[in-house]
């Protein structure tokens, strides 16, 4: 299995991404989960990550708290999408498993130093603060990363938090800039992909029909998450963003994209956090990311339902 660290701000869709990874031990070995401030403040994301591990029955996964705010800007949160707890929808008990004492950034650094080069993949599902802080503090780890597979950014689908920017990149553009310039291999699951991965009614029903605690909780989470998109965009279901990252590790053939140059806007307030993606190759800037644009959405939901059924 591929060794990964999940860096996350749960978030209902983060939760599903974590569950998918924990349900897939043949393909994925989760070394640890590092929480970051994003959808809700750090205390809640660190708590939610443990709630999800307990829901999956995987209380041995170490969970760490990382950075509580972006590198150079005040924190912007998304309770309007995810609810006050970040995980509104199902009623899940408070976690009993402990939060690790070590800081999440130090865990990322120590793990990359301890493991053989090229064997650890980072999976950021929130703002890139923890990852960029680790890269700044310990530049020696950058070349040891196998790949960064992240959810963030947009090109054709432009913005969901401002007209120009996707939430994860917008919250900490400085961190995103550090990661995109670092030279690590990057796979980007952008809104161009995730807006094609809609939890329609039949897909939600399929989660519920699993008849398990996990299936019910996921159906309740996506139900809650959906009300926002239904009301605001009138879409047939909410985009299930973050599990695209863990699905890619299991079934990369579900996605297609292009190796292109992606730069991050960090100065203009109007377009702050925009992922300036050279999709058409109109510059001579070197490609630094595999930017995904399509998804086999039914294949993705079939995979999710099948794997969640294993928990």
Residue 166 binds ligand BDR, judged by CB under 6 A: yes
Site for ligand BDR in 90-149 (CB under 6 A): 125-126
Contact 242, 48 (CB under 8 A): no
Stretch that binds ligand BDR, among 93-101, 162-170, 257-265, 285-293 (CB under 6 A): 162-170
**Known catalytic membership, residue 241:** yes
With CA atoms as reference, report the closest residue to 10 among 134, 163, 168, 145.
Answer: 168
Q: Which of Ca ion, ligand BDR, none sits in contact with 90, Cβ below 5 to 8 A by type?
A: none
**Pick 109 or 176: Cβ nearer ligand BDR:** 176
Q: What is the DSSP letter of 98?
A: P
Sign (positive/negative) of CA torsion 79, 81, 82, 84?
positive
Chain position carrying tokens 């965009």: 233
Distance CA 141, CA 111 (A): 9
Question: Binder to Ca ion among 11, 70, 83, 239 (CB under 5 A)?
Answer: 11
Residue 245 binds Ca ion, judged by CB under 5 A: no
Shortest distance, CB of residue 167 to Ca ion, whole angstroms? 8
For 170, the enclosing helix (H) or strand (E) is helix 167-171
Question: Binder to Ca ion among 6, 7, 14, 36 (CB under 5 A)?
Answer: 14
**Pick 125 or 262: Cβ nearer ligand BDR:** 125
Residue 19 three-state SS: helix
DSSP string, 206-251: HHHTT-SHHHHHHHHHHHHHHHHHHHHH--SSEE--THHHHHHHH-
Distance CA 120, CA 117 (A): 8
Question: Binder to ligand BDR among 47, 144, 203, 241 (CB under 6 A)?
Answer: 241
Contact 4, 249 (CB under 8 A): yes
Residue 78 binds ligand BDR, judged by CB under 6 A: yes
Tell me which of 80, 82, 195, 241 is the catalytic residue.
241
Site for ligand BDR in 180-239 (CB under 6 A): none
Pairing of strands 255-260, 289-295: antiparallel
Residue 125 binds Ca ion, judged by CB under 5 A: yes
Site for ligand BDR in 17-76 (CB under 6 A): 39
Q: Which of Ca ion, ligand BDR, none sits in contact with 81, Cβ below 5 to 8 A by type?
A: ligand BDR
Query: Which positions lie near ligand BDR, rule CB under 6 A?
Result: 11, 13-14, 39, 78, 81, 125-126, 151, 160, 166-168, 241-242
Query: Which positions lie near Ca ion, rule CB under 5 A?
Result: 9, 11, 14, 125-126, 242
């Amino acid at each position: 299995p591929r060794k990964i660290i999940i860096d996350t701000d749960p978030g209902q869709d983060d939760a599903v991404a974590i569950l998918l990874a924990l349900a897939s031990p043949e393909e994925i070995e989760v070394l640890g989960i590092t929480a970051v401030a994003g959808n809700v403040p750090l205390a809640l994301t660190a708590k939610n990550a443990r709630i999800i591990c307990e829901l999956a029955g995987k209380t041995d996964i170490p969970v760490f708290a990382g950075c509580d705010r972006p590198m150079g800007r005040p924190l912007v949160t998304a309770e309007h999408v995810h609810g006050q707890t970040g995980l509104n929808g199902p009623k899940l008990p408070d976690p009993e498993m402990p939060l690790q004492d070590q800081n999440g950034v130090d865990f990322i650094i120590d793990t990359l130093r301890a493991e053989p080069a090229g064997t650890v993949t980072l999976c950021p599902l929130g703002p890139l603060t923890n990852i960029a802080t680790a890269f700044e503090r310990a530049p020696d780890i950058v070349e040891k990363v196998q790949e960064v597979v992240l959810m963030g950014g947009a090109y054709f689908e432009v913005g969901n938090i401002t007209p120009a920017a996707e939430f994860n990149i917008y919250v900490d553009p400085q961190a995103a800039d550090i990661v995109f310039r670092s030279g690590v291999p990057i796979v980007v699951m952008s809104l161009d992909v995730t807006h094609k991965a809609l939890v329609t009614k039949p897909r939600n029903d399929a989660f519920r029909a699993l008849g398990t605690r996990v299936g019910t909780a996921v159906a309740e989470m996506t139900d809650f998450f959906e009300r926002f998109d239904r009301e605001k965009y009138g879409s047939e279901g909410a985009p299930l963003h973050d599990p695209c990252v863990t699905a890619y590790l299991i079934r990369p053939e579900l996605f297609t994209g292009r190796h292109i140059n992606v730069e991050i806007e960090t100065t203009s307030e109007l377009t702050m956090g925009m992922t300036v993606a050279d999709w058409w190759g109109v510059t001579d800037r070197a490609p630094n990311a595999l930017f995904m644009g399509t998804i086999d959405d039914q294949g993705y939901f079939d995979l999710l339902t099948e794997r969640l059924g294993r928990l």
